[in-house]
Amino acid sequence: MVEAFRNFIGVRWVAGESGRLFDDTNPADASDVIGRFPLSGTGDVDAAVAAARAALPRWRAMPAPARGEILFRAGALLAERKEIVARLMTREMGKVVREARGDVQEAIDQAYLSGGEGRRLHGQTAPCELPNKLGYTVRVPVGVCALITPWNFPVAIPAWKAFPALICGNTVVLKPAEDAPACASKFVEVLAEAGVPEGVVNLAHGRGEEAGAALVSHAGVDLVSFTGSREVGAAVAAECGRTLKNVSLELGGKNAAIVMPDADLELAADGVLWGAFGTTGQRCTATSRLLAHERIAAAFVKRLVKRAEALVVGNGLDARVEVGPLVNREQLSRVERMVKAAVRQGARVATGGRALAAGEHRRGHFYAPTLLTSVTPRMRLFREEVFGPVLAVTTFRDYDEAVALHNDCEYGLSSAIYTRDVNVAHRAARDLEAGITYVNGPTIGAEVQFPFGGVKNTGNGHREAGQSALDIFSEWKTVYVDFSGRLQRAQIDTARVVGGGAAKQP
Ligand code: UN1
């Protein structure tokens, strides 16, 4: 009997209104069904939003340090359950179990970071123009936040969004990706156990086009935080524009690692390999392009090919496996299509370039770690996110060309440069159009205490994690206190001339 999971609304686990369900399957073994989840519709979303609205006044009135304590408990519970959640994650979306533990750890880190913010949430103060007058700012919650999350970091990303939202005093409705609903359920279970009051956290499973769309257009939602594709992100932003909601977007990436001729090539190989094939290339921050200096390119690619061919691909629950499956059949087909198209346009397969479907791979969606050389900027593979274990290699003659190639891209999330030249490293940190630049490190592995996000079509100017997440999930209230006991008109409303210079005075 396959378990039927539920939505979480108010304080209860409830079935979806329509009774329609979808299957959650193991990408390493399509015959393994993890559970059935509700296909929520507008009725379910209405109920979730109503619960979140009802909970808002009390939650925002609770002192932030007390909200923080709940987040600390959530962090501790996640730490206790790390192994169970990690194994469920591997089974549900395929990432190898070592990385799944890291995903849970990122959520734990975020819980403690946000919990600590409960005692900070710093505002500003500045001198006022008039005597006996005080001005200061406080962060106030935005309201009901719809959090729409992807499957590739099924616990970490809900945590990046929910914990900052909650510490700021918002209530939330989470709509997780259809490919990782069980992890989201575990995450919400932990929050409920940690003592989040009724209605503060709600969970509605289902499809983006139904549950997601219903949330985004809902009049009771004040903010939408979305991580996913550029196309869906643009549609979400358009709808939020129409209904004047706050919206924060984390969209695609086409991250490049630049390898200069003076680089430590063994270190660069370690970093490029990990960045390209870690999480089967299914990170927004994955190294999707390698820009290699022409002098070292051939030897460097040879080294990478040898290492890529030694990677063990398989079921991520097996501790020896280094590269898991793609999340679903559609993703596998997309990778196959993109590689074939690039080859038709003249790219060369240095290794991989095919699905793995025999023997132990026959029941899952596996693709061989792939390196394509002779990739040029006119190919789709140079510009479009693959979200798979595919590295596109392009060579360059000098630093300026490397930067031009790097920046010839609609996205700008993560970037990396390998060099021993401190001047080149600092120039790259300045010149690469990206939200994140790593010097002598892979494009993946961002830490939660720093802003996370990108420029250009990667987002709409927001940064998650770090303190910057608070700017998404709170608004500034400015408070003026006049303790003079009389009407003091503001400087702009008095006849006194200030700052005009003596010449202008009558
Ligand atoms: C993502 O791929 O959506 O920087 C997030 C990293 C991780 C987060 C990736 N901390 O690789």
- 145 given a catalytic annotation: no
Ligand 1, closest atom to CA 436? Answer: 4
Which of 98, 153, 155 most suits a substitution to test ligand 1, by most atoms within 8 Å of the C-beta?
153
Distance 446 CA to ligand 1 centre (A): 6
Whose CA is closest to atom 3 on ligand 1?
284
Question: What spacing in Å lies between the alpha carbon of 164 and ligand 1's midpoint?
Answer: 17
Q: Tens place of pLDDT for every residue, the chain, 506 residues? A: 899 999 999 999 999 999 999 999 999 999 999 999 999 999 999 999 999 999 999 999 999 999 999 999 999 999 999 999 999 999 999 999 999 999 999 999 999 999 999 999 999 999 999 999 999 999 999 999 999 999 999 999 999 999 999 999 999 999 999 999 999 999 999 999 999 999 999 999 999 999 999 999 999 999 999 999 999 999 999 999 999 999 999 999 999 999 999 999 999 999 999 999 999 999 999 999 999 999 999 999 999 999 999 999 999 999 999 999 999 999 999 999 999 999 999 999 999 999 999 999 999 999 999 999 999 999 999 999 999 999 999 999 999 999 999 999 999 999 999 999 999 999 999 999 999 999 999 999 999 999 999 999 999 999 999 999 999 999 999 999 999 999 999 989 987 777 766 555 54
Pairing of the two strands 474-482 and 133-141: antiparallel
Alpha carbon distances (Å) from 125 to 122, 136, 167, 478, 492? 10, 4, 21, 9, 20
Atom of ligand 1 at shortest range from CA of 414: 4
What pLDDT, on a 0 to 100 scale, did the predictor assign at position 495? 74
Q: What is the 3-state secondary structure (H, E, C) of 435-496?
A: CEEEECCCCCCCCCCCCECCEECCECCCCECCCHHHHHHEEEEEEEEECCCCCCCCHHHCCC
Angle at 243 (CA atoms; ends 238, 244), nearest 5 degrees: 90
Phi, psi of 93 (to 5 degrees): -125, 0
Please give the distance, rounded to the nearest whole angstrom, from the Cα atom of residue 432 to the centre of ligand 1. Answer: 19
